Amino acid sequence: MRLFTKIFLLLVFFIVTANSLIAQFVLSGTVYDSTKINFVPNVKVTNTKGSFTVTDSMGRYSLTVAEKDSVTFTFRNKSTQKFAVQTVADPSRFDISLRINYKGKYSTMKEVVVFTKSYKEDSIENRETYASIYNYQKPGIKTSVSPTGGVGADVNELINIFRFKRNKRLKTFQIRLEQQEQEKYITYRFNKVLVKRLTHLEGEQLDMFLIRYRPDYEFASLADEVTFNQYILNASYKFKIEMLQKDASK
């Protein structure tokens, strides 16, 4: 009988405790000044039972509350009205603004729109900047027409034929620019965002995969989207097996 009573009391205790825990949750948000831009630190947030917390340097707070609680915000000994927790639509984002002006270290930036050039725009701009290099051709014998209408050999081309160092330098620069353009195109297609989305690799493994399975320019330029994405998936399966075997060998 006494054992039964103990078990019964324990059950009651657990039920009451569980109910009280279920009824509690975390209220969190950010406190701003009247501009709704500047964060307000060191604001005391207090619930009905007297539990409290203080906002951090970014005006953020988190406080455990009960469903029937109310909360107040106190800054420099001035308190706000009581806010009933039951009326809060989203307890994870209960932001408020105080009727004060506070200029701290941090504030919310106004909307910033960032424009970025596409790969094609970058490529066109680069080709326009270095047009003379991209269009370079090995000098040869060419004809030119004089102002009087006479036709003869192009003297400049004849001179350039024997400017060996200059010709070699221009050709080397042209090859390097073309290689850089090809590498940029590979990076444009085999980019980290796409690879991460398809493979779910992250961190060091993602970086390792991007280096090890970087495709060549010919494949990157000729493969359609389906073929290219399938290559990434197949390579990721192989890579993950290699990683598992490596871990197992350790």
Of 88, 114, 140, which one is at a domain's C-terminal end? 114
User: What tens digit of pLDDT does each residue of 13-67 get?
Assistant: 544 444 554 468 899 999 999 888 889 999 999 999 999 999 998 999 999 998 8
Considering the domain architecture, whether residues 74 and 138 belong to the same structural domain is answered as no
From residue 53, alpha-carbon distances to 41, 95, 113, 186, 238 in Å are 11, 15, 36, 52, 51
Q: Where do the H-state alpha helices sit in the chain? A: 2-22, 119-129, 131-134, 155-161, 164-189, 192-199, 203-212, 217-222, 225-249
Considering the domain architecture, whether residues 174 and 202 belong to the same structural domain is answered as no
Considering the domain architecture, whether residues 152 and 232 belong to the same structural domain is answered as no
Q: Is the model's pLDDT at 11 over the cut of 80?
A: no
The H-or-E segment that residue 75 falls in is strand 70-75
The whole domain housing 74 covers 21-114
Considering the domain architecture, whether residues 148 and 94 belong to the same structural domain is answered as no
Quick one: pLDDT band at residue 108, thresholds 50, 70, 90? low
d(CA 95, CA 55): 12
d(CA 16, CA 32): 38
In single-letter form, the type of residue at position 238 comes to K
pTM: 0.43
Considering the domain architecture, whether residues 175 and 139 belong to the same structural domain is answered as yes
9 belongs to a structural domain: no
Domain count, the chain: 3
Considering the domain architecture, whether residues 197 and 157 belong to the same structural domain is answered as no
Considering the domain architecture, whether residues 110 and 26 belong to the same structural domain is answered as yes
135 belongs to a structural domain: yes
Considering the domain architecture, whether residues 36 and 66 belong to the same structural domain is answered as yes
User: What tens digit of pLDDT does each residue of 191-233 get?
Assistant: 999 999 999 999 999 999 999 999 999 999 899 999 999 999 9
Phi, psi angle pair for 57, to nearest 5°: -65, -20
Considering the domain architecture, whether residues 212 and 245 belong to the same structural domain is answered as yes
d(CA 81, CA 74): 10
Quick one: pLDDT band at residue 248, thresholds 50, 70, 90? confident
d(CA 114, CA 125): 19
The H-or-E segment that residue 152 falls in is strand 151-153
Of 139, 163, 181, which one is at a domain's C-terminal end? 181
Domain CATH code at residue 80:
2.60.40.1120
d(CA 89, CA 105): 30
16 belongs to a structural domain: no
Length of the chain: 250
Average per-residue pLDDT for the chain: 80
Is the Cβ–Cβ distance between 72 and 83 less than 8 Å? yes
Considering the domain architecture, whether residues 110 and 127 belong to the same structural domain is answered as no
